[in-house]
Structure 1
């Protein structure tokens, strides 16, 4: 995380500095050392909470406000000046010099560590997110991933933290366009009213952004978390504070109280508020408001605080040298600490760092951050005679001594960025080529790749390479997914697609979430053989349930759209009156090993039975979980594991008894289907059976393995329907 701060002025305060000069400007001669310290405190909180507590500290929100204060406040003073240039290019060049070099270095190091530590199945994600980070749309990339049910539960990315930098980068460019366009069009018509009019516009945008964030937070908190406009109010509020600072007048005692409250709120925020679930909604006002108090506490037009003794005590504490140094390193430290943590956890297969290894991670992050700041950031930011050099220096500082290597350094960083981009595109193309071979999967020999028949029929298994491969698996999906026949998280509409024998009069309604959907591959084949049709009623992550406040399975996000969709789909099922409704009847326990029949399914079965619609109740396939986190067999196999070591004990994912059996007397029209023995052995659910990879992620059956389930599903389905 970072904030753009104004260039450091000369150590000498000009005697003619106006009392109302903005804090931190070159003209004022007053530099806000306490805000450097506040950045240091914020990055310390971010890193500590990430490494040891797995929580959001509120430090990112502090950075967002400070970014708006420094960057926006500076532009308010320059772009809206009647005598200023209307060219944004100097600011853009400064942004590029400030932001990209350190980012490129960290991304390049991350690419090397990805190849050394992560399985090949994770390289594509890193390539995608590297490109997203370089182009500053990482927040949208992560938002798309979070809303993609097929990618839910993926390992945490080592570049996930760059979402906030993308939000800031988008804000900087948008603000530049807005303010320069505003000045260009209205400088002459508005004259002296130009600045207050623009500030009023910013205030309206701030209110609109906060309102949008509040509404979206309720509707889809994950989308709100990464949404640029939902975060814009935090930066815009910083800009507004920068505009207000020159006019602030309040006594020292009140400033001290405000600073004390602000500092206490910032320090305690991470412990008291679950920011992952509550930000950027109204609770984000706590760290944001606290940062505003810290800024305003040291602003007083009547007393020009050019020395620390005129600051409130909390601000003086923040001006301590260690915190200021940490603040100067904040950008680089933010870049380094998260990927180092994630790579360490990937290397050790851990879920959280301990006291010792966490301290080592922070120490290494600090060293790398300092070296990056000292030898990459500052040589490219501070150039002799550049904007950051306010007065000529009597002696040659180290920055000037590094003038000659600066060109070479800039060229090296540029080439590194080009190489990283080219490598990312090249790997993505390689994966695309590998997956193009997946078309062969439908033609695999049943003798060479018996799959489930190795369990159900004791079929002989020759020694052949596993298919799909770990790279092919991601796209080994049911046809309905590729056809767009399943509603996504946001869509509450019922999508009907028809498979099997389209002219048949007998119909099976395939209804529920993706765990009902992945049976379409086998059902479609059986429907064509036995002359019935399949009509889909599907929604991602949403089984048929009467639950009033459903949650997304896996991360327990509120899922109100699931409830609305269930109401619609049940009405349509009753209206359509299919011959049978095929749906899942169990779910994994969240609190203990095994699976369970949720009580919220009973109301669905009762409604269908009351309307004389028989039910085909399929026991859900196992969800693979280790240490409370989704487990991906493809990752394990790519790391060198085998079918056994990359599997999971059956007792951990399946109960001894299918609890649906207990409801047969209550629902005599219900028929129970259970293919657990075609997926798992008596003691273990392996990753591979009959040379076929069972899962394409952590809990969905691959389409290739599903085709090997056709004989066993056909046997059970024929007995249940009596159609053959």
Structure 2
């Protein structure tokens, strides 16, 4: 039986199946909970196809690294530049603040094949963005492929150059098992790294490369064996796409089923090109979709990311409309862009200059402009501009950044950080301490203190106040430890009214922080301070809800039950603290914006938030004004510091 070579329609069908699964998953079609495995199917196909290409070149002595990488650039980059540029224009009238800047950074990272590393780092941060609104998030998988293309040609070239006459089975098998074991380990120990980075996906490419490398040495399949293997492989892909969910261990052992299934389909087609599976995959519609699969993959995600950002529901009408638009765009861009440039006889230098270096400079200039510019509100209509400024340009930490210029261990106690009444003898009688959530409540606290108190603000992002005894365990960053030590020294000088706040929902997930904060309250109480615990406002499902007025939403509220559920750890901590320290005062800004059913993100026509868990400065002040109007000023009933 002659082994099939060259073009294979069934592989185009596999590409179509892979991209359709990804699209159905991202468009939240019911029943396709594991459609993300389409990416892994692509990885196996890429390993197979690229290895076949390299083998032919090596055997014919026609391989050139320069030609190989020039072809890769012309094949992948022109269409990416088109899609990403259209995406930039599409999101510009809508994306605010950090979301706009994050796009620009991801744009550059995607162009140079590093978006998987960029997103791994960005989404692992303390203030990680809402991933569903990241317009180029899907390019992480393209970066993984491009990184594979960097290492595999050289590895295979060296094997051909120095490994002739040697049995390559065992080294390959050892590497395949080792990379699979690495994937299982990383998926368990470092799931984010496993998902985004090449090492945990390497075995998937190797399944494809193995079929290509050893196709002449693998057993020849008869018709029945090929039918069974091909059907089994297709079933493994489809069942995994239906059964798996985003909460399952992945990649690791769960990635083995669809990738091994893909390898089985490819292997069966080498010997029998007319199996039932091959005929299904070779249907004209599958071949058509497979041919434009790269275009489909690039185009499908940006519009749905914009819908997520705009909080527009993915109804069936929206899904079908999106699919139709994406298919038409993909066919047009395949015909007039992808095919137009991939066959140009341009060398590596010319391809690199035109498609990577020149665009990189333009994108870098755009990124720098977004980063440096104080006001990009010209992108919005006049009626939306003021709302944009309230949401995006009213971060109290930015408005009063002169207060945060001192060294962490020598926090600023000058007039730049003083609010309310003028301090007597230069000594304020109250302090606001905590992290970025504390400074976000500055406007609220200002309304409470009025001209009755002199307030010193000592806050630092990601640095809640815990006593020095616990700081070394609580923080890896030595500057944060020094900061809290210096703050503790200051707080020991005299009794004051101390307003305390932190991102309670985040820190109190840890039992250790429950202990740290209880001990800190005990310490503050022992110093004779009047402690005012500021509770936090509800967290929003995403930062997009902070901009609901800009999105023309009819309802800017969120479910109060969901908000309370997120606060369960804090409420448990509060109960413990109240039992141990009954004299501590608690002020709850949620009383203003929440009823038993809903919590508002807009008050008196004013947007309150700047992201999913921070108030903007004007919103914070508005909650303070409304609190006093409805419930009176709680500070008038508080016993002052001893």
What residue in structure 2 maps to residue 350 of structure 1? 312
What residue in structure 2 maps to residue 556 of structure 1? none
What residue in structure 2 maps to residue 7 of structure 1? none
Q: Does 1:231 align with 2:197?
A: no
Q: 1:639 to 1:323 in 2, by over 3 A?
A: closer
Q: Does 1:243 align with 2:213?
A: yes
Q: Distance in 1 between matches of 2:187 and 2:246?
A: 12
Tell whether the 8 Å contact from 1:336 to 1:365 is kept in structure 2 after alignment: yes
What residue in structure 1 maps to residue 47 of structure 2? 68
Q: Distance in 1 between matches of 2:302 and 2:216?
A: 40
Q: Name the SS for the 2:614 alignment partner.
A: coil
What residue in structure 2 maps to residue 264 of structure 1? 235
What residue in structure 2 maps to residue 218 of structure 1? 188
Q: 1:475 to 1:337 in 2, by over 3 A?
A: farther
Instruction: Tell me how far 1:331 sits from its aligned partner.
Output: 1.0
Instruction: Tell me how far 1:481 sits from its aligned partner.
Output: 13
Instruction: Tell me how far 1:106 sits from its aligned partner.
Output: 1.5
Tell whether the 8 Å contact from 1:105 to 1:413 is kept in structure 2 after alignment: no
Q: Distance in 1 between matches of 2:611 and 2:584?
A: 29
Q: Name the SS for the 2:641 alignment partner.
A: coil
Q: 1:636 to 1:433 in 2, by over 3 A?
A: farther
Match of 2:611 among 675, 690, 697: 697
Q: Name the SS for the 2:536 alignment partner.
A: coil
Q: Distance in 1 between matches of 2:476 and 2:98?
A: 36
Match of 2:137 among 138, 160, 164: 160
Instruction: Tell me how far 1:74 sits from its aligned partner.
Output: 2.7
What residue in structure 2 maps to residue 457 of structure 1? none
What residue in structure 1 maps to residue 262 of structure 2? 291
What residue in structure 2 maps to residue 11 of structure 1? none
Tell whether the 8 Å contact from 1:101 to 1:413 is kept in structure 2 after alignment: no
Match of 1:434 among 363, 370, 373: 373
What residue in structure 2 maps to residue 381 of structure 1? 342
Q: Distance in 1 between matches of 2:293 and 2:262?
A: 16
Residues 183-194 of structure 1 aligned to structure 2 (within 5 Å): 187=161, 190-193=163-166
Q: 1:689 to 1:435 in 2, by over 3 A?
A: farther
Q: 1:65 to 1:482 in 2, by over 3 A?
A: farther
Q: Does 1:323 align with 2:302?
A: no
Q: Distance in 1 between matches of 2:402 and 2:216?
A: 61
Q: 1:684 to 1:330 in 2, by over 3 A?
A: closer
Q: Does 1:173 align with 2:130?
A: no
Q: Does 1:674 align with 2:568?
A: no
TM-score (norm 2): 0.71
Q: Distance in 2 between matches of 1:676 and 1:601?
A: 26
What residue in structure 2 maps to residue 49 of structure 1? 25
Instruction: Tell me how far 1:258 sits from its aligned partner.
Output: 2.0
Q: Distance in 2 between matches of 1:281 and 1:148?
A: 24
Q: Distance in 2 between matches of 1:219 and 1:676?
A: 39
Q: Name the SS for the 1:673 alignment partner.
A: strand
Q: Name the SS for the 1:298 alignment partner.
A: helix
What residue in structure 2 maps to residue 78 of structure 1? 57
Tell whether the 8 Å contact from 2:44 to 2:204 is kept in structure 1 after alignment: yes
What residue in structure 2 maps to residue 399 of structure 1? none
Deviation digits for residues 461-494 of structure 1, max 9, x if unmatched?
xxx9789655545794698998999xxxxxxxxx
Q: Name the SS for the 1:666 alignment partner.
A: helix
Tell whether the 8 Å contact from 2:240 to 2:258 is kept in structure 1 after alignment: yes
Tell whether the 8 Å contact from 1:621 to 1:676 is kept in structure 2 after alignment: yes
Instruction: Tell me how far 1:701 sits from its aligned partner.
Output: 3.5
Q: Distance in 1 between matches of 2:71 and 2:396?
A: 42
Q: Distance in 2 between matches of 1:68 and 1:261?
A: 21
Tell whether the 8 Å contact from 1:637 to 1:646 is kept in structure 2 after alignment: no
Segment of structure 1 superposing worse, 288-297 or 577-586: 577-586
Instruction: Tell me how far 1:285 sits from its aligned partner.
Output: 0.9
Tell whether the 8 Å contact from 2:211 to 2:263 is kept in structure 1 after alignment: yes
Residues 299-318 of structure 1 aligned to structure 2 (within 5 Å): 299-300=270-271, 305=272, 308-309=273-274, 312-318=275-281
Q: Distance in 1 between matches of 2:235 and 2:89?
A: 40
Q: 1:45 to 1:432 in 2, by over 3 A?
A: closer
What residue in structure 1 maps to residue 380 of structure 2? none
Q: 1:638 to 1:484 in 2, by over 3 A?
A: farther
Instruction: Tell me how far 1:662 sits from its aligned partner.
Output: 5.8
Q: Distance in 1 between matches of 2:555 and 2:367?
A: 26
Q: Distance in 1 between matches of 2:406 and 2:143?
A: 30
Deviation digits for residues 179-228 of structure 1, max 9, x if unmatched?
44x36xx836x5433x82xx765555544443333233223423321112
CA RMSD of aligned residues (A): 5.4
Q: Distance in 1 between matches of 2:48 and 2:243?
A: 26
What residue in structure 1 maps to residue 423 of structure 2? none
Q: Distance in 2 between matches of 1:257 and 1:274?
A: 27
Q: 1:321 to 1:289 in 2, by over 3 A?
A: same
Tell whether the 8 Å contact from 2:119 to 2:140 is kept in structure 1 after alignment: yes
Tell whether the 8 Å contact from 1:102 to 1:376 is kept in structure 2 after alignment: yes
Instruction: Tell me how far 1:46 sits from its aligned partner.
Output: 1.8
What residue in structure 2 maps to residue 445 of structure 1? none
Tell whether the 8 Å contact from 1:434 to 1:472 is kept in structure 2 after alignment: no
Deviation digits for residues 12-63 of structure 1, max 9, x if unmatched?
xxxxxx94x6x434xxxxx332212111222222222222438441111100
Residues 611-690 of structure 1 aligned to structure 2 (within 5 Å): 614=525, 618-625=533-540, 628-633=541-546, 635-636=547-548, 648=557, 666-668=579-581, 671-674=584-587, 676=589, 680=593
Q: Name the SS for the 1:36 alignment partner.
A: helix
Deviation digits for residues 354-379 of structure 1, max 9, x if unmatched?
22331222122112222222222223
Tell whether the 8 Å contact from 2:391 to 2:616 is kept in structure 1 after alignment: no
Q: Distance in 1 between matches of 2:92 and 2:621?
A: 34
Q: 1:471 to 1:203 in 2, by over 3 A?
A: farther
Residues 292-691 of structure 1 aligned to structure 2 (within 5 Å): 292-300=263-271, 305=272, 308-309=273-274, 312-344=275-307, 346=309, 349-352=311-314, 354-382=315-343, 421=360, 424-435=363-374, 470-472=391-393, 476=397, 499=411, 515=437, 582=500, 587=505, 604=515, 608=519, 614=525, 618-625=533-540, 628-633=541-546, 635-636=547-548, 648=557, 666-668=579-581, 671-674=584-587, 676=589, 680=593
Instruction: Tell me how far 1:428 sits from its aligned partner.
Output: 2.7
What residue in structure 1 maps to residue 81 of structure 2? 104
What residue in structure 2 maps to residue 398 of structure 1? none
Deviation digits for residues 389-425 of structure 1, max 9, x if unmatched?
xxxxxxxxxxxxxxxxx99xxx999979888656543
Q: 1:535 to 1:687 in 2, by over 3 A?
A: closer
Q: Name the SS for the 1:47 alignment partner.
A: helix
Tell whether the 8 Å contact from 1:52 to 1:355 is kept in structure 2 after alignment: no
Tell whether the 8 Å contact from 1:33 to 1:324 is kept in structure 2 after alignment: yes
